Amino acid sequence: MTQPTLCFIGAGNMARSIIGGLIADGYPKQQILATDPNLAHCQQFTQTMGVACDVDNVQTAVQADIIILAVKPQQLSAVCQELAETVQQNQPLIISVAAGIRTQDIAQWLGGEVAIVRAMPNTPALIQSGATALFANHLVKDEQKDQAEHILRSTGLVVWVKEEQQIDAVTALSGSGPAYYFLFMEAMEQAGEQLGLDAKTARVLTLQTALGAAKMAMESSDDPATLRQKVTSPGGTTEQALKVFESQGCKEIVQQAMQAAYHRSLSLAEELGNPPNALQNKTGENA
């Protein structure tokens, strides 16, 4: 059975990570296309990834069954308007990995009703260890949902959300989440050095501890609270450390931080998308 032809508009890190995962899973290279406005980058991309890359978005997209929009959010409006005629004629599935852009805005830029899956991956997708949430608009068929899931599963874990606004919660949790862990690891490394460890030892122990804790949580049937209790002996060292975290409002800080990320995601959607009065057709009537 022939796999659908994929066209990645944008050949940056995210496109590279998805394509790399697909190829590792056995997806035929000849069924993967990409575009980039820089000819030298296109040539390098073809050389390193083994897939065709071109500077012409329209001529490449016209060949595709599925178009993956992998450009910066600020570029998405212009790219979609360039592709609108092709998309309306061919009706491919659209998958957007551009952060903060709503499906209704993408549909309008593409000229009308289009099947769109919005994806919120995170940076560990670059090493096929990502966590991606997907949302499908009402035009996406079950077969297309399966195709979108297969494509994004090449970068790691995939989950579906039922409401598009939940993507903003995902952004605050897993989208921004790697940075939270990096900050905590940074603090642990620095504290280890202050306690007398050399920098290399503090770093190696911090990273392995983070990896081990995540692996235990993934493989255990216990929730994080139970796991924490199991490694906390009464009167022991861990208990003393956790008391400090609790006294400083650790959980409240995390909640406040994620609320800030969530509200920023909402505001970005307003800034980068269409204003409310833009949802009109060419005759000026309400859409």
pLDDT digits (tens, 9 = 90+) for 264-283: 999 988 888 876 444 444 33
pLDDT digits (tens, 9 = 90+) for 148-181: 999 999 999 999 999 999 999 999 999 999 999 9
DSSP state of 272: H
Write down the pLDDT at residue 275.
60
The H or E element that residue 134 is part of is strand 130-136
pLDDT at 285 exceeding the cut of 50:
no
pLDDT at 257 exceeding the cut of 80:
yes
CATH code of residue 254: 1.10.3730.10
- Cβ–Cβ < 8 Å for 156, 128: yes
Residue 1's pLDDT band (cuts 50, 70, 90): low
Residue 274 lies in a domain: no
Instruction: Domain of residue 117: give its range.
Output: 6-167
Write down the pLDDT at residue 2.
80
Distance between CA atoms of 157 and 100, rounded to whole angstroms?
20
Residue 234 lies in a domain: yes
Percent with pLDDT over 90 in the chain: 90
Q: How many domains does the chain have?
A: 2
- Cβ–Cβ < 8 Å for 24, 128: yes
Q: Looking at the structure, do residues 31 and 93 belong to the same domain, yes or no?
A: yes
Residue 121 CB contacts under 8 Å (≥ 6 apart), including other chains: 14, 97, 130, 131, 132, 152, 155, 156, 175
Instruction: Find the angle CA(169)-CA(172)-CA(178) to the nearest 5 degrees.
Output: 135
pLDDT digits (tens, 9 = 90+) for 53-74: 999 999 999 999 999 999 999 9
Write down the pLDDT at residue 272.
86
Q: Looking at the structure, do residues 24 and 157 belong to the same domain, yes or no?
A: yes
pLDDT digits (tens, 9 = 90+) for 213-227: 999 999 999 999 999
Q: Looking at the structure, do residues 111 and 228 belong to the same domain, yes or no?
A: no
Q: Looking at the structure, do residues 157 and 249 belong to the same domain, yes or no?
A: no
CATH code of residue 78: 3.40.50.720
pLDDT digits (tens, 9 = 90+) for 6-48: 999 999 999 999 999 999 999 999 999 999 999 999 999 999 9
- Where among 138, 167, 196 does a domain terminate? 167
Q: Looking at the structure, do residues 32 and 158 belong to the same domain, yes or no?
A: yes
**What is the model's pTM?**
0.89
Q: Looking at the structure, do residues 194 and 163 belong to the same domain, yes or no?
A: no
Burial class, 155, CB count within 10 angstroms (exposed 0-12 / middle 13-18 / buried 19+): buried
User: What's the whole-number average pLDDT of the chain?
Assistant: 93
Q: Looking at the structure, do residues 137 and 198 belong to the same domain, yes or no?
A: no
